Amino acid sequence: MSTTTAEASRRRTFAVIAHPDAGKSTLTEALALHAHIISEAGATHGKAGRKATVSDWMEMEKDRGISIASSALQFEYAPEGHVGEPYMINLVDTPGHADFSEDTYRVLTAVDAAVMLIDAAKGLEPQTLKLFRVCKARGLPIITVINKWDRVGREPLELVDEIVKEIELQPTPLFWPVGDAGDFRGLARVDEDGEVEEYIHFTRTAGGSTIAPEEFYSPEEAAAREEDVWETAVEEAELLAADGAVHNQELFEKCVTSPLIFASAMLNFGVHQILDTLCTIAPAPHERASDPAAVEASATAIDEVRELDDDFAGVVFKVQAGMDRNHRDSLAFMRVVSGEFHRGMQVTHAQSGRSFSTKYALTVFGRTRETVESAFPGDIVGLVNAGSLAPGDTIYAGRKVQFPPMPQFAPEHFRTLRAKSLGKYKQFRKALEQLASEGVVQILRNDARGEANPVMAAVGPMQFEVMQARMEVEYNVETITEPVPYSVARRTDAESAAELGRQRGVEIFTRGDGELIALFGDKWKLAFIEREHPELTMDPMVADG
């Protein structure tokens, strides 16, 4: 086995995804705590004296208690009894708020598995359902975690039934709760035959800020200790096993089944079991195919599939600036796909054909950054001030490869943006270019409105707040936004744009990537023009997958 393959085999790269307030950032902290890279977990916001989670670095995140931008954390972890090199965990915490779902979708293109959190009291919420379906459509294996079991919630079998009915994904219990929601005593470990083989009892710690002590009991000892509560847990686990809900690695990797764990991230109950499960069954990095359109269009030789042992290649899934006020730079977050990355190596940008040096490369833990000398498939690396890179771009060494582009979502909200002071126009332009390249919002321009008064297009209105807040904090530019009378966007072409521009209630813009975008007053206006002018191009702006 080559060094690259061996290193890739110990990588586990996954995203934590869920509905807002399901506990994603709290779980991220708890996982870091169990890996012993922090000594005390931060907690969710709103509690007097509590810390903000280390993965939340933006001021708006700390003020509101939600994650707005994705955050990549890397650490080593060895399950108890593990022999050999520890696993290298690449964990990506993502925004939960629906307004930032485009950022979450980008992350899903860069990971090998997902941990989906479900609130024990609320079950499958709209954003949870949406993300489950996206993972399933992409064939991304999912480990399901029912979180907040320390609070009053629903029956466990009811939650399992809901998942099966709503998204046709069969949960297969690996750790079943002992004690009802709100009376979380521990977990019953379930083997691959559906047999309960062990009881793990948890003891609370002050505020849940340190690792919860665990005691292990045989089924017979558990029955004597917990009596009816243990008997109920065993009966429920056996009922599911009798119905075929047992772990099968092949079906899990095909996204047909989902290993199920009950936990309380706040109390650190079940967190160590989540980490162990990821190490044991989550898929390691694997080969990736080139974009078929790029292969067909390329004038030079290009790899159709990039194997792990091939020359270095990586894909950019996120560009972010302003993560540290002491460093006024931008970071392009890249997932290593193949080969070995070395800091300072000369690489080629597939989209432009330009060569550049990766002199400054970092791993990022919240606001903490460390220099990366080398990285392997599955690792997330932050490239500093790689200004030409955008989400979806490929960089490579050796033989050319170009991975599929990053999908852009159909915006549903539109507002103009301008600087309060004309004297700040230069900073305004600079901020606009940087934040648009990161994908904070899409920027639409036309001659009638001019460069100083572009239109922002976003999936959700909170993106506008982020845009304004970051302009003020990072570039010292106060801005004014105003609504525009549009609610529907369509891609068009130059020939159709001329006719569409003459229609009342329609305005034509150019997006930053050169695409022509037509904005319509509402869906009825769009339907009328489609009926009257079927020959015109008005393509939906729909994300891939």
pLDDT tens sequence across 255-304: 999 999 999 999 999 999 999 999 999 999 999 999 999 999 988 899 99
- Residues 302 and 52: their CA atoms lie apart, in Å, by 46
| pTM of structure | 0.81
| Intervals of CATH 3.30.70.3280 along the chain | 413-540
461 in Cβ contact with 413 (< 8 Å): yes
Spacing of C-alpha 178 from chain mean position: 31
User: To 10 degrees, what angle do helices 425-438 and 462-475 make?
Assistant: 130
What single letter denotes the amino acid at residue 304? E
| Closest to 506 (Cα-Cα) out of 517, 495, 514, 515 | 517
145 in Cβ contact with 27 (< 8 Å): yes
Residue 104 marked as a ligand binder:
no
- Residues 472 and 48: their CA atoms lie apart, in Å, by 28
| Intervals of CATH 2.40.30.10 along the chain | 288-396
Low-confidence ranges of the chain (pLDDT < 50): 43-57, 61, 64-70, 543-545
Residue 535 CA: distances (Å) to CA of 140, 355, 492, 499 = 39, 42, 11, 11
Residue 52: per-residue pLDDT: 46
204 in Cβ contact with 267 (< 8 Å): yes
Residue 94 marked as a ligand binder:
yes
The DSSP result for 40-101, as a single string, is S----TTSTTPPPPTT--SHHHHHHTS--S-EEEEEEE--TT--SSPEEEEEEE---SGGGH
Residue 41: per-residue pLDDT: 56
- Residues 538 and 529: their CA atoms lie apart, in Å, by 10
Residue 303 marked as a ligand binder:
no
Residue 96: per-residue pLDDT: 55
Residue 417: per-residue pLDDT: 96
Question: What does the block give as tokens for 62?
Answer: 């700390």
Residues in Cβ contact with 229 at an 8 Å cutoff, skipping those fewer than 6 apart? 178, 179, 183, 185
Neighbouring C-alpha atoms within 13 Å toward the C-beta of 307:
4
- CB atoms under 10 Å from CB of 83, counted, come to 5
413-540 classified as CATH 3.40.50.1820 = no
144 in Cβ contact with 281 (< 8 Å): no
476: left (phi over 0), alpha (psi -120 to 50) or beta: left
108 in Cβ contact with 114 (< 8 Å): yes
475 in Cβ contact with 468 (< 8 Å): no
Residue 96 marked as a ligand binder:
yes
What single letter denotes the amino acid at residue 183? D
- Residues 326 and 331: their CA atoms lie apart, in Å, by 14
- Residue 283 DSSP label: P
Residue 496: per-residue pLDDT: 96
- If you classify domain 3-281 with CATH, what class do you get? alpha beta
Residue 213 marked as a ligand binder:
no
- CB atoms under 10 Å from CB of 527, counted, come to 12
Superfamily of domain 288-396: Translation factors (2.40.30.10)
| Intervals of CATH 3.40.50.300 along the chain | 3-281
Residue 483: per-residue pLDDT: 94
Q: Assign 455 to helix, strand or coil.
A: strand
What single letter denotes the amino acid at residue 357? S
